[in-house]
Amino acid sequence: MRWVFALALVAGCSKGPEDPRADLVAKWKEGGITVGAMEPAQAGFGADCKQTTVKALEVLLCTYQSPEAAKAAEDPALTWIGEATGAAKASGKVLVAVVDRRKTDPSGKTINQLMKLTPK
**Residues found near other proteins in the complex (CB under 8 A):** 78, 81-87, 89, 106-109, 111-112, 115-116, 118
CB–CB of 54/98 below 8 Å?
yes
Smaller CB separation from other proteins, 53 or 110 = 110
Smaller CB separation from other proteins, 6 or 31 = 31
Smaller CB separation from other proteins, 30 or 83 = 83
We find the least distance from the C-beta atom of residue 83 to other proteins, in angstroms, to be 5
